[in-house]
Amino acid sequence: MGLFKPETLKQIIDTINRHEVPMTKITSAQRLALLGMDKDKQKQLLSELTPLLRPRPTNGVTYVQACPGSQWCKFGVRDALKLGAELEKMSFSEPLPGKVKIGVSGCRMCCTEARVRDIGIIASKKGWTLIFGGNGGNNARIGDVVAEALNDSEVIDLARKCLDYYQQNTTRKMRTARFMEMTSIDELKRAVLNT
């Protein structure tokens, strides 16, 4: 979720400076891109940074982007970081058919662009709203609202059900947005709600 302890961030900066990385960038996925290096230097740098990084999931979500939420933002009404950390732990017996990006917004301002994520979760005073099948990029799609006024455990359970349904009913490499263009929201709701 783009979180670093200050001491870890210092180690990363020291390593980047030691290797004279020409440019760094925080990506929209809240990751750190190291730009302008030749491939041999990149391999050496990566070997030094790997122990400091979160391992990439093999059968889970590609990434979770979460805003500071109620813990750190004056607009936050729910704890987006806590929920995001729980969602990051999701794994499946088989790899998911395509990349799955999750955005968790602790208020309706949607700083994580939750409406254009595979799974978007947006907080309100009534609870979490779960959105499925969004996509940014060249063929953008606003996701469909699956359910509203959910508590933490309900939204995590529903996110898993949506991903299970997606996994069981689509082909390899198809993202959720393209899947939802072939599947009606009513069909998804029948499959995942009250089951």
Q: 0.75 cut: is pTM over it?
A: yes
For helices 185-192 and 152-168, the axis angle rounded to 10 degrees is 120
- Give the CA distances from residue 102 to residues 16, 28, 45, 112, 150, in Å, rounded to whole numbers and listed in that order: 28, 12, 28, 9, 17
What are phi and psi for residue 6, nearest 5 degrees? Answer: -55, -40
CA–CA distance, 75 with 106 (Å, rounded to integer): 8
Structural domains of the chain in order of their starting residue, each with its CATH number:
6-52 (no CATH), 63-192 (3.30.413.10)
Q: Which residue has the higher pLDDT, 61 or 147?
A: 147
Show Cβ contacts of residue 53 under 8 Å, excluding neighbours closer than 6 positions.
none
Query: Is a pLDDT exceeding 80 seen at residue 29?
Result: no
Euclidean distance between CA atoms 185 and 176, whole angstroms:
12
> What pLDDT is stored for residue 195 in this prediction?
59
CB 125 within 8 A of CB 143: no
169 close to 95: Cβ distance less than 8 angstroms = no
Per-residue pLDDT tens digits for 38-79:
888 888 888 888 887 766 667 788 889 999 999 999 999 999
Report pLDDT digits (tens) over 149-193: 999 999 999 999 999 999 999 988 899 999 999 999 999 999 999
* Mean of pLDDT over the chain: 91
